[in-house]
Structure 1
Amino acid sequence: MSSVELGNPVPDFEVQATGNQTIRLSDFQGKNVILYFYPKDNTPGCTTEGQDFRDRMSAFAELNTEILGVSRDGLRAHENFRAKHDFPFHLISDKDETLCKLFDVIKLKKLYGKEYLGIDRSTFLIDGAGVLRKAWRSVKVKGHADEVLEATKAL
């Protein structure tokens, strides 16, 4: 499966998420979808990012927009992370990296001099027709949720 491109439809996918949900992109036909990829549950940047989206949830809802967080963590970790921070949106477990590969977010990273493959913090805005309208890569958390909200308003 090749990766998605701006202006093109996103292929339908089926993934497992919190709340014992099976989520398909096609389930959101007619709604905008924010798909944000983050490296790991319960880390400082990822927690702040999730809280920022949570705190703007009503503004996104007014724009007919769903938010979904994605990482390679398992569902148990996701359930705990979601409950601990009262996230009103679902978190997708992408252990097999199906979505990560589709959106091309796995990148070579360095930590303490060691290289590894990890998720490059990225966000994607998909419109109600399933077309990728905006992509943010190598995201800096501060102010990001506001930027995504503004882009969603512009649809």
Structure 2
Amino acid sequence: MSLEVNSKVPDFSAACTGGGNFTLSAHTGKNLIIYFYPKDSTPGCTTEGENFRDLHPEFLKADCLVFGVSRDSMKSHENFKAKLEMPFELISDPDEKVCTIFDVMKMKNMYGKQVRGVERSTFVINKKGILVQEWRGLKVPGHAQAVLDFVRTIGD
């Protein structure tokens, strides 16, 4: 069952950086960006994280919280977050529960081999918990700005 735009996102909880847990329902009343990326400290994921970091003040002005998700461990996430000085939390999803809700696990070609991994994707969830926009299989350059441009159009 795939999540569809304009449908309610099922509640979920997962460990996140900063020593806490992310629970979707605890963020009702805020617009959320949840972006999925393949792996901490890899070139594309680093650039994507830096782009979301650099635009973070603008996301806050748009009443929008940002969260990154990958299958990496909490230790890896804490190191990645510190290295990039990210002002937002990273969600650890080693058992792929969150990845499954958003259907981002795909077969990909890596160095000529088929591997199962996270498809770089971003989702915007409005204040009522409704998925209002998604980008799947995206390219990093310009993406965070496109997400910001979109969230600026979301009303209450």
Interval containing the TM-score (normalised by the shorter chain): over 0.9
- Looking at structure 2, the residues matched to 37 and 112 of structure 1 have their Cα atoms a distance apart, in angstroms, of 21
Shift of 1:113: 1.2
Aligned counterparts of 1:19 and 1:57: Cα–Cα separation in 2: 17
Partner residue in 2 for 1:57: 56
| Amino acid of the structure 2 residue aligned with 1:23 | F
Structure 1 match to 2:124: 125
1:145 corresponding residue in structure 2: 144
Structure 1 stretches of 5 or more lacking a match? none
Q: The residue matched to 2:15 in structure 1 has which SS? A: strand
Contiguous gaps of at least 5 residues in structure 2:
none
**CA–CA separation in structure 2 for the residues paired with 1:100 and 1:107:** 10
TM-score scaled to structure 2, two decimals?
0.97
The residue that corresponds to 1:82 in the other structure is 81
SS of the residue aligned with 2:38?
A: coil
Which residue of structure 2 lines up, in the alignment, with residue 6 of structure 1? 5
Distance 2:21 2:86 in 1: 18
Greater than 3 Å deviation, 4+ residue runs:
none
Q: Deviations over 1:97-152 (max 9, x none)?
A: 01111100000011111111000000000000000000000010000000000110
Q: CA deviation at 1:3?
A: 2.8
Q: Which amino acid aligns with 1:12?
A: D
Q: Distance in 1 between matches of 2:111 and 2:151?
A: 37
- Is 2:67 the partner of 1:29? no
What is residue 108 of structure 1 aligned with on the other side? 107
Aligned to 1:95: 94
Structure 2: how far apart are the matches of 1:41 and 1:7? 30
